[in-house]
Amino acid sequence: MLNLEILATLRNLIEEARRSGDPEPGAVNVATVDAQGHVSARMVLLKHIDERGVTFFTDYRSEKAQAIEAHPQIALTLYWKHLKPAAQVRIEGRAEKLDAGESDAYFSSRVRLSQLGAWASEQSATLPGRELLEQRVAMREREFADRPVPRPPHWGGYRVVPQMVEFWYAHEHRLNERVRWELVEGEWKQRLLYP
């Protein structure tokens, strides 16, 4: 469980980025390690933050999901260059699948075309041509024409349960500020790090 200070700081930074005009203040880099030990990183959108952790959604057949199944320890990085001062948040923790109810609730809030795309895409698989994806979306549109689009069984969310959260703030001459929180024996401990 995140303590209130960490939670408030993270939410405030995202809100500050939103107010600054950042079009994707919740864009987060997710780094994973697969079963063969290959490291991979990609951007996803952070969708929810609470005391339990941070959540994002994906296709469970994707490369990132396969890596999470092999090694659930992952790292996240958020960065806002245009804040004054610029800020970064690093989160390390364990990724856990959300329960079906939480994934269903978020899926139902997505725009219909995004819902159809979740059915049409075989995320991370080879796509022989863009036309095939468009055909698959049209096929799913016909299939679900007169009803709400249900969540595909292969699509859902992950919650990253943090074990470390580090806030970094840019200062002149690289004399940056780093505040690290670590979960030690069930308690969050804070310390400053040299820049």
Give 54's contacts (C-beta < 8 A, 6+ positions apart).
10, 28, 46, 48, 76, 91, 159, 160, 162
Any catalytic annotation for residue 174? yes
Which of the residues 174, 178, 180, 191 is marked catalytic? 174
- Rounded distance between C-alpha atoms, residue 180 and residue 190, angstroms: 6
| 76 within 8 A of 90, measured Cβ to Cβ | yes
Count CB-CB contacts under 10 A for residue 37.
8
Report which of 173, 168, 179 is spatially closest to residue 85, judged by C-alpha positions.
168
Active site residues: 174
